[in-house]
Structure 1
Amino acid sequence: MTWFSSLLTLISVGWASAALGYEVFGADWTHLSSPREVRFVVCTEGKGIPVGASATIRAAADLWSTNAIRIRFDPDRCLAEYPRVDNINTIRFAAINPGPQTDGHDNAYAYRRNDLRRMQECDIVFNIARHWHAGNGSPEPKQHDLLSVALHEFGHCLGLEHSAITNAVMSAALPAGRTRRALQADDIAGRRKLYGQ
């Protein structure tokens, strides 16, 4: 093996390992008939919800959608009880107390319900106590970027866990004032592992 082929091997191994930081949950939506559509309802009533929240959440969903899996929305409405087991995927702003259900995260969380490998429901909650940024510009230092956080939570709803790659959308932490608004190679590799695209 020449030094050049050795260098190419090292580079290719480095690229391959750079895209393997994702982990899968063990349940997904592949049991749905094709084209697979996962539908959500957004509740935007209440104090402290940023203007444009619904549009920002929908924009985050569009970034995950492909021909193999699509995230769609029913008209915005708020359900009387929450959370509840009803096979309706809901998104809302509410108080979050860190605990086992939230895995210690208190900005937002995705509550997933599955039957073996078949995802049945995913509800997303954004902490109403946070200062949310729902615009196109940069968030202020103490604001949390709704598009970035929604993008991350939709990844959980599709069946991904946290990634070991620090710039990936599915990386576990995103400090206030920062954004992560585009899927990275690791996120796309995780989606491809689950849905083929």
Structure 2
Amino acid sequence: MKKDKHIDWPYFSGLILIPVVVVAFLFIISVVQGLFRYDPAYFTEEYRARYDTPGSVAVDLERALQDGDENLMEELLGTRHSPKTMPARPDLVLTVMISSSDKYFHYLYFETRSYRRDMRYVKERDGRFIASETDLYFYMDSGQWRKLAGPLAAIWWILVIVFTTAVYVYRRMAAVRKSMFG
């Protein structure tokens, strides 16, 4: 006698593991990106002396954002690629260092006319402090990916469990109907 299978366990396990696989894939991408991200030309003794504190980067970052100075922004980022084109924002001022984490210092900039806030991050790298772009590498490196991935994974797992339960109930009831009514 063949027993009907109500839940396809390999399929269920695969669906449960999707968020883990996605995060692992993104983590691998960020690690590979980190290997080639920074330009050694921006990590000479001159730059190490100029940007020896997070505050020195924050002050120059304010000037770069106010003037739209892409060359200064390249120095602050220290990356191999040029930063995105940025408009001059003369009303932007550095207000405060909000907090710091294991790797990053969080600075808040504020536009006095529009009241728009701009959070920027500074970290230590190879003996100097650099500004960080808020891209995939930053989110994976800083751990902020957890703020998005955790809730999304929980929602995904709840949906998988609810739909799997619904399929189980449907198949179980179909088996009961079949045994009762032939």
TM-score by length of 1: 0.29
Which protein has greater RCO, CA pairs closer than 8 Å, 6+ apart?
1
Instruction: Report the structure, 1 or 2, having the larger helix content.
Output: 2
When Rg is computed on C-alpha atoms for both structures, the one with the higher figure is 2
TM-score by length of 2: 0.30
